[in-house]
Amino acid sequence: MGNLEFLKGMFREYYLKNDVILPPRFTRREYGFMFFDKSYVLRHKAFFSKGEIKKFLVKEVPRHAYYSTAYYKDPKNKDMEKKGWMGADLVFDLDADHIPETEGKSYSEMLNIVKREAEKLVVRYLMNDFGFDERDIEIVFSGGRGYHIYVRNKDVQVLGSNERREIVSYITGGSYDITKFLMEEEGKGKKRRTLYFLYPPDFGGWYGKISREIIDISRFLLSLYTNYGEDAVVNEINSILKNKKLSVKIAKDLFKETKLNTMKIEYLISEDQSPKLQILRTDKIRDAFLLYLKEKIRIRGEADEPVTTEIHRLIRLIGSLHGKTGFIVKPLTFKEFKEFNPLKDAIPETFKEGESKIIMKEKIEIEMNGENHRIDGEGCVPDYLAIFLVARGMADFVSRCSS
């Protein structure tokens, strides 16, 4: 038995014992699939019963399963113009590939960073700024390197690509010049510096958001310094701006100024006044702080804008398996999401029952299902780990291990 036969057999066992979770109005959706042993992508499939989908998954055993975010009058029609578009869910895809901070991180560290960004999207933007109810939002672990966030609200289903693009632009910060969301005043003296003031924190849109973020981030940097020292703050600033060629000296100066800024901000807010950004000593430090701020608060993943803006997009079928990990594409309530550990909670129970012998292509150490695994050479490992490593091309399947 080769690698593909092993994976296909394990996936078939999963689909025999488990049902996928069908989207609302599932008979109006288009479905697409990629396979272990076929080179083509199958699209324009339609299903009209849960049993029909179950039968297909068990018989064909796709490596990846997708469905359309849109719903159609005739979803199986191969001509997109003739499908009869009726609307589409509003979906956001946050993936580690588009988050610079994940570069060089372990798989578990990478997943933690993406989870943080997903929570930021849900709480700060979808709930706070757009006012969606928690019941309108569904969070789904993609099974791989990120999360899909669904807004299942009838008011957004009829939005076209342009309207959806405006939503993405607002959330990601797009090409915003942050100074547009600050009050300006012409300074006095020979140099006549432009002075910036913050809007009240409860002001609407990005105006209040910038004020709140400046206050929160200033306090965060001060807390970081109190607990871990100056180097931790400089490393934090440079980790965010590492692609912006910010010098270590500017980072240190920015920290020192921000430390003072924090105390003044807290005082001014307590006095119900608008803090003044000109207390940052130079324009260069101020501009570095604004750049750090923008990178810190924006939602990473803007390269996946097409997932949100394209109204005919396919996305992973909830409850199916991700073909490169063997993990479940798992739906989560917001409460479940807060406690969710994908390296444990997305592992199918089916794959925890047996072991398989594999031979590693390189030595690896990984935490999965609450256990640390150090693997080198040939040996028996839990099926979920064997599937993960073989699917990612890090190991070859040898045989099943006897119990």
Same fold? 10-172+303-345, 353-400:
no
Q: Where are the domains of the chain?
A: 10-172+303-345, 178-297, 353-400
What type of residue is 129? D
Task: For residues 284 and 93, give the distance between their C-alpha atoms in angstroms, rounded to a whole number.
Answer: 35
Task: For residues 58 and 17, give the distance between their C-alpha atoms in angstroms, rounded to a whole number.
Answer: 10
Two structure tokens written together for 170 = 């607002």
Q: What's the pTM value of the predicted model, to 2 decimals?
A: 0.78
- Under 8 Å between Cβ of 212 and 199: no
Q: Across all residues in the chain, what is the average pLDDT?
A: 83
Question: In the CATH scheme, what is the homologous superfamily, with its name and number, of domain 10-172+303-345?
Answer: DNA primase, PRIM domain (3.90.920.10)
Task: For residues 87 and 163, give the distance between their C-alpha atoms in angstroms, rounded to a whole number.
Answer: 13
pLDDT > 50? residue 331: yes
Higher-pLDDT residue of 403 and 60 is 60
* Least-confidence region, from 156-160, 297-301, 381-385, 388-392: 297-301
Catalytic positions, written as ranges: 93, 95, 304
- Under 8 Å between Cβ of 279 and 272: no
Query: Is domain 353-400 in CATH 3.40.5, yes or no?
Result: yes
pLDDT > 90? residue 98: no
Q: What is the pLDDT of residue 50?
A: 93
Rank 119-128, 187-196, 336-345 by mean pLDDT and report only the highest.
336-345
Name residues whose C-beta falls within 8 Å of residue 399's C-beta, 6 or more positions apart in sequence: 1, 356, 357
Higher-pLDDT residue of 184 and 54 is 54
Q: What is the pLDDT of residue 327?
A: 97
What type of residue is 137? I
31-82 pLDDT tens trace: 999 999 888 899 999 999 999 999 999 999 999 999 999 999 999 999 999 9
Task: For residues 296 and 94, give the distance between their C-alpha atoms in angstroms, rounded to a whole number.
Answer: 16
Q: Is the dihedral of CA 174, 175, 176, 178 positive or negative?
A: positive
What values do phi and psi take at 321, rounded to 5?
-105, 145
Q: At what angle are helices 3-17 and 383-391 packed, to 10 degrees? A: 130
Higher-pLDDT residue of 268 and 40 is 40
Half-sphere exposure of 40 (CA within 13 A, CB side): 2
- The whole-number average pLDDT for the span 118-141 is 88
What values do phi and psi take at 265, rounded to 5?
-60, -45
| Cα torsion through 333, 335, 338, 344, rounded to 10 | -60
